[in-house]
Homo-oligomer: A and B are copies of this chain.
Amino acid sequence: MTEAQKRPYHHGDLRQAILETAIAMLNEPGGWQFTLREVARRAGVSHAAPYKHFPDKAALLNEIALIGFDRLHVALASARSSAGNAAEALAAASRAYLVFGLGNPALYRLMFGAEIGNSAAVHRDRRAMGAFDVVMDLLAEGQAAGLIEKRGVAGQAASVWAQMHGLTMLKLDGMLRPERVGEDAVEAALASFFEGVLV
């Protein structure tokens, strides 16, 4: 008598179970290329049941990506609120960004994977911009306080975000090879970058 046989006909919260199962499966080889059938199997339902909650696999992946953006935003907002001045907060938020990305490789890749699901819709969603807004705010604050080089905030914010995103992706992809850029490439790059940003 397996668990599946003991479950009542209705799961009770299948949508949530599918999300959690899929998020967990992201960390297995193949990442987001898990099959919907395996998600259903593990959630203890028939292979077509997920279609009751998500119109297709892309929709499931989109929702997971947005959950990822929510979490990234929370991580940055949290780092910000426990830091000192704007420059310190920016540094803390940057580290939080890297910690999040490097600590959740598969989720991070899904969030930024352009050919995954309907990424255009994801990237238009307000939830995808929360983390970036934190960066924008900190830069504006830091400039006003004379702690950060005075440059166009928009361009500077894009540059900061590009730096975080680029470092995360290059590190995750194994392209920052120790024999070329040393053992602590991310830290060294961050230090180098902020030498050009902080006053």
Q: Which residues of B contact A45 (CB under 8 A)?
A: none
A167 close to B166 (CB less than 8 A): yes
Q: Which residues of B contact A31 (CB under 8 A)?
A: 115
Taking CB atoms and an 8 Å cut-off, the chain A residues in 97-146 that contact chain B are 105, 109, 112-115, 119-120, 123-124, 128-129, 132, 136
B158 close to A186 (CB less than 8 A): yes
Taking CB atoms and an 8 Å cut-off, the chain A residues in 14-30 that contact chain B are 30
Number of A interface residues at 8 Å Cβ cutoff, please give it: 57
B176 close to A158 (CB less than 8 A): yes
* Copies in the assembly, this chain: 2
A85 to chain B, nearest CB (A): 19
A39 to chain B, nearest CB (A): 17
Q: A155: which of B119, B170, B192, B197 is its contact (CB, 8 Å)? A: B192
A192 close to B114 (CB less than 8 A): no
Given contacts A129-B180, A132-B180, contact A112 B155 (CB under 8 A): no
Assembly CA distance A128 to B114 (angstroms): 21
Q: Which residues of B contact A190 (CB under 8 A)?
A: 159
Q: A162: which of B152, B170, B187, B191 is its contact (CB, 8 Å)? A: B170
Q: Which 3 A-B pairs rank lowest in CB-CB distance, beginning with the nearest? A: A196-B196, A155-B188, A166-B166
Beyond A123-B175, A151-B192, A165-B170, 19 additional pairs, beta carbon < 8 A: A109-B115, A112-B169, A114-B172, A123-B173, A124-B174, A129-B180, A149-B196, A155-B188, A155-B189, A155-B192, A158-B185, A158-B186, A158-B192, A161-B166, A161-B175, A162-B170, A162-B189, A162-B193, A169-B169
